[in-house]
Amino acid sequence: MREMLPSQLQLGEIDIASIQFNPRSRDDIPQLLKGLQFLYADKVVRDKIFSVLELLTPADVSTKTGRPGMHWWKILVMGTLRLNLNWDYDRLLEMVNNHKTIREMLGHGIRDEDFQYNLQSLKDNIKLFTPEILDKLNQLVVDAGHQFIKKKK
């Protein structure tokens, strides 16, 4: 059964909402991760996103039996990076295995710094993003952005 997120932080993990970014960075990776952090920190938006992510489960797959799959949050983070930065799976693999801030965003702490993803696992999970799912997620993100702008005014 897939989980949205682990239910409790493990020793050495940083809460996603607490991840610090270099404010002077002009690179696109921190910008995307900050956007994901914003979505994560807003519980209402996060719950809506997770309800859409539940649709990623193929109809012929049981959610009650079998081994646990990759957390939906990890699939969202990896899929967002891959699609927005136009990365192939090899680049994605390199970055999720070695980029400190991306690993923090994926929920990895000091206890599992030796954990490495494998290429086939990424392909099997990230391909679940269909155009229909992406359209639904995009609409939620746009709506959240509009709400954020209204709050600032």
Q: What pLDDT score was predicted for residue 1?
A: 43
Q: What pLDDT score was predicted for residue 132?
A: 85
Would you say residue 1 lies in a domain?
no
State the total domains in the chain. Answer: 1
Q: What pLDDT score was predicted for residue 153?
A: 67
Q: What pLDDT score was predicted for residue 28?
A: 94
Rounded distance between C-alpha atoms, residue 56 and residue 67, angstroms: 17
Task: Pick out the chain residues at pLDDT < 70.
Answer: 1-12, 58-59, 61-68, 153
Would you say residue 11 lies in a domain?
no
Domain that holds residue 66: 16-152
Residue ranges of alpha helices (H) inside 42-128 are 43-53, 72-84, 89-98, 100-105, 119-126
Would you say residue 56 lies in a domain?
yes
Q: Do residues 11 and 111 make contact, with C-beta atoms less than 8 angstroms apart?
A: yes
Rounded distance between C-alpha atoms, residue 67 and residue 65, angstroms: 7
Query: Which pTM value belongs to this model?
Result: 0.84
Would you say residue 58 lies in a domain?
yes
Radius of gyration of the chain from its Cα atoms, rounded to whole angstroms: 15
Q: What pLDDT score was predicted for residue 86?
A: 93
